[in-house]
């Protein structure tokens, strides 16, 4: 039998770097206005510190200003809320990201409620998600936006196509379904989850499958129809390292396009955070 063709690799690192370059060019063309991304980091979680450092590294590369506010893991609720209020009222701060997860003693929802929708560059507040549902100008969660940018850049057809998203979180699954079904993208989006019956059969009916459940290698050959596009958002830490929801080796001879893990949607999340920061500045009248 002839060997199956290698799938198109949807390289998030390459696209992230391209987007950073384009953002830098847009900033230069606008006269390098002072646009600031602020992060709030509470505690000593090592991955969170790494993520925040990367965000500021790429913000600087794109010509954005940034500030990182760090509080100890023991910080009380009032101190965290006072800091977020201060940033929210500061006209020199255009985007605010509260790094997740917060220490367990803190009320995360109460902190997020203090973020104005115009500065919510993570797109996670009730105001931001409400604007997304209503189709109003606002800021979209970074990971779903990154999936959309990958599909656009690699010219993966979406109009009239069936997309199955495995995972229904407000961080990825639900907002991504809304984005994919929007006018102009025009996919038919189905959200699947742990109680979905015949999941493999449902996924095999899809032109685009997005794994966003955080279950290691749950999407394999039996979930993939020939030529389908597979997007991996889930992350699981195993003894052999970080793996995604998609079993890359199992599907690479079947899929038409697939994201690597790592190097796929992760870098796109950072790129879209920077895109959201520019969008936030535009919403506030700082950038045209």
**244 CB-near residues (< 8 Å, 6+ apart):** 211, 216, 217, 232, 233, 234, 235, 236, 259, 261, 264
d(CA 249, CA 102): 35
**Which sequence positions are flagged as catalytic?**
55, 99, 122
78: its two tokens: 């009032």
Phi and psi angles of residue 145, each rounded to the nearest 5 degrees, phi first: -65, -35
Helical H segments across the chain, by residue range: 12-29, 46-61, 77-89, 108-112, 126-134, 142-153, 173-181, 199-204, 248-251, 265-283
In terms of phi and psi (left: phi > 0; alpha: psi -120 to 50; beta: otherwise), the region of 40 is: beta
d(CA 129, CA 143): 14
Phi and psi angles of residue 124, each rounded to the nearest 5 degrees, phi first: -105, -5
Phi and psi angles of residue 252, each rounded to the nearest 5 degrees, phi first: -65, -20
Give the total residue count for the chain. Answer: 288
What residues are paired with 211 via a beta bridge? 166, 232
């Amino acid at each position: 039998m002839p060997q199956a063709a290698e799938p198109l690799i949807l390289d998030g690192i390459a696209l992230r770097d391209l987007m950073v370059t384009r953002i830098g060019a847009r900033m230069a063309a606008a006269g390098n206005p002072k646009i600031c991304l602020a992060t709030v980091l509470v505690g000593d979680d090592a991955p969170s510190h790494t993520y925040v450092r990367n965000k500021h590294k790429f913000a600087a590369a794109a010509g954005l200003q940034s500030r990182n506010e760090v509080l100890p893991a023991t910080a009380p609720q009032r101190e965290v809320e006072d800091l977020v209020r201060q940033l929210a009222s500061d006209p020199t701060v255009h985007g605010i990201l509260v790094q997740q997860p917060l220490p367990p003693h803190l009320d995360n929802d109460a902190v997020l409620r203090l973020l104005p929708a115009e500065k919510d560059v993570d797109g996670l507040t009730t105001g931001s998600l409400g604007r997304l549902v209503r189709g109003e100008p606002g800021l979209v969660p970074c990971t779903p936006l990154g999936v959309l940018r990958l599909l656009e850049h690699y010219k993966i057809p979406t109009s009239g196509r069936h997309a199955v998203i495995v995972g229904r979180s407000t961080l990825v699954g639900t907002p991504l379904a809304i984005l994919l079904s929007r006018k102009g993208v025009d996919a038919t989006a189905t959200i699947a989850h742990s109680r979905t019956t015949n999941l493999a059969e449902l996924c095999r009916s899809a032109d685009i499958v997005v794994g966003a459940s955080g279950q290691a290698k749950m999407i394999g050959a039996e979930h993939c129809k020939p030529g389908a596009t597979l997007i991996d958002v889930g992350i699981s830490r195993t003894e052999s390292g970080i793996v995604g929801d998609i079993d890359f080796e199992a599907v690479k001879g079947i899929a038409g396009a697939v994201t690597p893990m790592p190097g796929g949607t992760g870098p796109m999340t950072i790129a879209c955070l920077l895109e959201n920061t520019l969008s936030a500045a535009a919403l506030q009248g700082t950038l045209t």
